[in-house]
Amino acid sequence: MLLTLLLLPVATGFTLKPTQTMAFTSKCAALSHFFLLLFFLLSTGPIFPVISFPVGVNYGQIANDLPSPSDVAKLLQSIGINKVKLYDADPRVLHAFANTHIEFIIGLDNEFLPKMTNQAKSLAWVKDNVQAYFPSTKITCITVGNEILTGNDSVLMANLLPAMQSVHQALQTLGLDKQVTISTAHSLAILASSYPPSNGAFREDLSEFITPLLDFHSKTRSPFLINAYPYFAYKANPKQVPLEYVLFEENQGMKDPGSGLHYDNMLFAQIDAARSAMARLGHGSVELKVSETGWPSKGDTDEAGATPDNARHYNGNLFQLLAKGKGTPLKPNNAPDVYVFALFNENMKPGPGSERNYGLFKPDGTPAYDLGLGSRADPNLGDAAPPLRGDGADHTSSSSTSTASFTISSAKGLLVDMDAVCLQILIGTLMLLIWRKHL
């Protein structure tokens, strides 16, 4: 096949005029270094590495039309997402993502917290849901419950830290505590004050829980997780909260009178408010991560701002900021670790319409709105994957097919202006490279 492609110009009697020879040679030579580099990379390791996406995603599954975990794995690899947060420890997902090098935060449902205070039960859970998949599936963190301290269940509140300590002890017993951390996600409602950011403080009625939790994070070097949604602030008061401020658009912003720092978006102000609250309790060095943030593309008639355009601006602008490595005013050189909610629209979630429309993607794998995932307009974002089937079946395809498709697609822009002969040679070269990769 390769020989046929290379000899096709001769076989068809195609020849170059003398005046075309120099241009032809120049064009082909200009790309020779490129393809030599590709050949070198192919001969030394994996080729065409996916550009890393600047955020992680929450992979919720409260739906009856989602693609299979194997298809989801291919989708995430195709756009370069390498961090995923689950709300459980779904074995189908953990199996499907083995050897993908995608990092996972897995979750323990709130209902399991009382059981996890028992050391034998927590050890059994870690054996079944972490050790059984590690290290093929790259599990890096376990969230023990979600937004427990802002709920109304005093039993869960009392069991939260003991459950976290018990699961951590199980990790230590199995020798996994250096690779896997323990945390729990908090609503920003744990803050009594968040404005200005330097005045951030935790609610006094939660101090009996927050202080020992921060002690635990400091001791185990685990992250403090917050769910931060500027959308909720805008939805509650759209006439007073500037839309540009919550969407990372150009605006005057605000100056924190306490710190003198300038804030031009609400999410970064919320992050620094939480950091200030942590520092107020002597734990400013504990790492903070945003376990959830996002914007719905659709909502009920009384849900202000829930539109595809606003969702596109919120997530798109956030991605660009993080891709540039931009941190908050309090930590400008340290871009926060952020997990966007959510990967897919989830059609069975209860509550207002917005709850079912936070997804970056529809269940068939196509974007819920244009984020540039398929256009590569932003060099920091990857190619979009082809549409996925939504029947939940496991539709696997070989990695070689995926790689070859990506190769030809990525090279397409380079080939558009080439003469017919040079095009044939370059296609032949590509075929050789793909063939060489799979020897």
The reported pLDDT for the residue numbered 51 is 53
Residue 53 confidence class, pLDDT cut points 50, 70, 90: confident
> In this structure, is residue 108 part of a structural domain?
yes
Which CATH number is 78's domain given?
3.20.20.80
Structure tokens at 72: 């989801």
Mean pLDDT, residues 249-276: 98
Is it the case that residue 375 has pLDDT exceeding 60? no
Q: How many structural domains does the chain have?
A: 2
Residues 330 and 244 in one domain: yes
Domain extent at residue 405: 398-439
Instruction: Give the mean pLDDT of the chain.
Output: 82
Instruction: State yes or no: pLDDT of 316 exceeds 60.
Output: yes
Residue 23 lies in a domain: no
Report the alpha-carbon distance of residue 322 to residue 130 in Å, rounded: 30
Say if residue 75 is in the same domain as residue 161.
yes
Domain end point (choices 356, 373, 390): 356
pTM: 0.76
166 and 315 belong to one structural domain:
yes
Query: Residues 287, 156: one domain?
Result: yes
Q: What percent of the chain has pLDDT over 70?
A: 73
The answer to whether residues 58 and 341 touch, using CB atoms and an 8 Å cutoff, is yes
Shared domain check, 417 and 335: no
Is 90 exceeded by the pLDDT of residue 371? no
Q: What percent of the chain has pLDDT over 90?
A: 71
Residue 48 within any structural domain of the chain? no
At residue 20, φ and ψ (nearest 5 deg) are -90, -20
Q: What stretches of 137-287 adopt beta strand conformation (E)? A: 138-146, 181-187, 191-193, 201-202, 224-227, 254-255, 262-263
Question: Sorting pLDDT into bands at 50, 70 and 90, what band is 52?
Answer: low
pLDDT, one tens digit per residue, over 69-123 is 999 999 999 999 999 999 999 999 999 999 999 999 999 999 999 999 999 999 9
| Angle at CA of residue 4, ends 43 and 401, nearest 5° | 50
Please tell me whether residues 424 and 335 are part of one structural domain. no
Whether residues 119 and 241 share a domain: the answer is yes
Q: Which residues are catalytic?
A: 147, 292
Q: Is 90 exceeded by the pLDDT of residue 433?
A: no
The residue among 299, 325, 356 that closes a domain is 356
Reported as a single tens digit per residue, the pLDDT across 194-205 is 999 999 999 999
pLDDT at 54: 84
- Is the residue at 141 inside a domain? yes
Q: Is residue 364 part of a domain?
A: no
